[in-house]
Amino acid sequence: MPDNKFASVEVAVFWQYISASIDRMIALLAGLSPEQLAWKPPASKANGLGVLAVPPEALLAPHHHPRRGWSTGREILLIVARHAAEHLGQAELTRDLLLAQMTMPR
The predicted pLDDT at position 76 comes to 65
Contact of 76 with 59, CB cutoff 8 Å: yes
Residue 105 lies inside a defined structural domain of this protein: yes
Which domain covers residue 96, as residue numbers?
80-106
- What H or E segment, with its residue span, contains residue 84? helix 73-103
For the chain, report the end-to-end CA distance as a whole number of angstroms: 52
Confidence class for position 3, pLDDT limits 50, 70, 90: low
User: How far from 8 is each of 44, 77, 88, CA to CA, in Å?
Assistant: 42, 12, 26
pLDDT at site 55: 52
| pTM of this prediction exceeds 0.75 | no
Q: Is residue 90 part of a domain?
A: yes
Which pLDDT does position 4 carry in this prediction?
66
Q: How many domains does the chain have?
A: 1
The reported pLDDT for the residue numbered 49 is 84
Q: Given this model, what pLDDT does residue 73 score?
A: 62
Q: For residue range 16-73, list pLDDT tens digits in order.
A: 888 888 788 888 888 989 899 889 988 888 888 877 765 565 445 666 767 778 886 6
Q: Rounded to whole angstroms, how far apart are CA atoms 62 and 105?
A: 50
The answer to whether position 58 is within a domain reads: no
